[in-house]
Amino acid sequence: MTRTIKMTMAAVALVALGAGIGVAANRFGKPTTIIHVVTLFYKDGTTEAQKKAVLDGVEKMAGEVPGLKNIWLKGIKAQVSAVVKDADGKLTEKRMTDAIVMEFESEAAFKAYDDHAAHREWEKIYTVVRGQSRTTDITN
């Protein structure tokens, strides 16, 4: 009986150790998709309805542009700023407040997006209210 208890305890210990190793191992991938990151701030006076129209436009565009796989529309933190000149000519630093991220399945899809009619339509809404933006495109 003692031997059975010891073997059971050893088996439990091995299972626990194996589970711990499995949890400790971080698994990650290196996708070949292209991530298009836009950080921006809106012009002073831009309404919440206009901001919503920009984000709704990204969703609409995502449904129309072939190869646009995923979108992220809720910026949590942007550590980017821009120097802007006010009406008096004074330069001030203004922090980016929002972010839009799009994932494209391939370089060809990313390139095609630039001239796609849905992108051009969205720009008519976006450029009117965009103060400044910074774009970064990333892949592996």
Instruction: Please identify, in words, the CATH class of the domain defined by 34-138.
Output: alpha beta
Q: For residues 3 and 81, what is the distance between their CA atoms, to the nearest angstrom?
A: 68
For residue 137, how many other CB atoms are within 10 A of its CB? 13
| 80 exposure class (CB count in 10 Å sphere: 0-12, 13-18, 19+) | middle
pLDDT in tens, 7-32: 566 666 655 555 555 567 899 999 99
pLDDT in tens, 24-53: 789 999 999 999 999 999 999 999 999 999
Contact between 76 and 100 under an 8 Å Cβ cutoff? The reply is no
Sheet holding 98-104, edge to edge: 68-72, 98-104, 34-42, 130-138
